[in-house]
Amino acid sequence: DIQMTQSPSSLSASVGDRVTITCRASQTIGTYLHWYQQKPGKAPKVLVYTASSLQSGVPSRFSASGSGTDFTLTITTLQPEDFATYFCQQTYSTPLTFGGGTKVEIK
């Protein structure tokens, strides 16, 4: 199975900050890497697919990059609605696996 390791597991930030979350795969996955945002009590929502493509309707302050084994999600100017948990997921091979999540909290 491909292990997905996210870091950090949590972070505290202020509105307006720039935030970067990383996701590392235990083996190469090309660009079969997607990012989701989840708020408490809600289903996840896709932000980015295939490593760097922004899902329709997602604000441009979100961006992502990477290929192979190392990936990043960046929020350039953190907004109040961005406080949530972020997960990466690989769909290169089954079982499709998620990272452990990064909880972005208000400082």
Partner 1 sequence: QVHLVQSGAEMKKPGASVRVSCKASGYTFTDFYFHWVRQAPGQGLEWMGWINPKSGVTNYAQKFQGWVNMTRDTSISTAYLELRRLRSDDTAVYFCARGGTTSWSHVDYWGQGTLVTVSS
Closest to partner 1 by CB, 56 or 60? 56
The whole-angstrom separation of Cα 74 and Cα 93 is 25
| Window 28-67: contact mask with partner 1 (x via CB under 8 A) | ----x-x-x-x----xxxx--xx----x------------
98 binds partner 1 (CB under 8 A): yes
Interior CA angle at 105 toward 68 and 9, to 5°? 40
- DSSP designation for 56: T
Amino acid at 35: W
Residues near partner 1 (CB under 8 A): 32, 34, 36, 38, 43-46, 49-50, 55, 87, 89, 91-92, 94-101
